[in-house]
Structures are given as structure tokens and as C-alpha cells.
Structure 1
Amino acid sequence: MNDLLAGLGVALVLEGLLWAAAPLKARRAVEEIASLSTTRIQVCAVAAVALGVFVVWLARG
């Protein structure tokens, strides 16, 4: 449970840094993502999940 909370905390820090450091670029990225097809968004999301699982697997080795 501690690892899950730590991971969520890191995700919030990274997300917050993006919006704090470059809010206009972040807004443009969100607008661009919104213009993509649902299928493309789903494929990218599944790829991100797979990459995340792989990184955690490597880190926990």
C-alpha cells in the first residue's frame, strides 16, 4: 500500500510540475489529444499502461 501511495504522489508531482512550468504548452497538448480519435487515444493509453508496468517490473526486479 505504501508503494501505491508513493507512486500516486510521484504522479501528482510530475503532473503538477508540467502545469506549473508550462501551462500554455500543457493546454495545447490537452487540446491536441482531444482532437484525436477515440481509438488512437485508447491505443496510446494501453501502450502507456504497458510501459508503466514494464518500468515497475524493472525497478522491482
Structure 2
Amino acid sequence: MGDFLTAIGLALVIEGVLYAGFPGPMRRALMSVSGMPEQSIRMGGLMALAIGVFVVWLVRG
């Protein structure tokens, strides 16, 4: 459980750095995502999930 909470915290730190450092580009990115079809967003999320699982498997395996 500790590793999971650490991962969530790190994700929030990275997201916070992006929003604090680059608010304009982040706003534009969110606006462009809002116009994308749900299937494209879903596929992007699944690819990110697979890459994340692979990276964790490499590091922890």
C-alpha cells in the first residue's frame, strides 16, 4: 500500500509541476483533448497504462 501511495503522490507532483510551470500549454492541451473522440482518449489511456505496467515490471521485477 505504501508503494501505491508513493506512486500517486509522485504522479501529483509531476502534474503539479506541469501546471505550475506551463499553465498556457497545459490549458491548450486540455482544450485539444476535450475535442477528441472518446475512443482516441481511451486508446491513449490504455497505451499509457501498458507502458506504466511495463516500466514497473522492469524496475520491480
| TM value normalised by structure 2 | 0.96
* Partner of residue 46, structure 1: 46
* Partner of residue 17, structure 2: 17
Shift of 1:41: 0.5
* Partner of residue 2, structure 1: 2
Rounded to whole Å, the distance in 2 between the matches of 1:39 and 1:53 is 21
Query: Share of identical aligned residues, percent?
Result: 44
Aligned residues: 61
Structure 1 residue identity aligned to 2:24: L
Cα RMSD of the aligned pairs, angstroms, is 0.6
Q: Determine if the alignment matches structure 1 residue 37 to structure 2 residue 40.
A: no
Q: Which runs of at least 4 in structure 1 moved beyond 6 Å after TM superposition?
A: none
| TM value normalised by structure 1 | 0.96
User: For structure 2, which runs of at least 5 residues remain unmatched after alignment?
Assistant: none
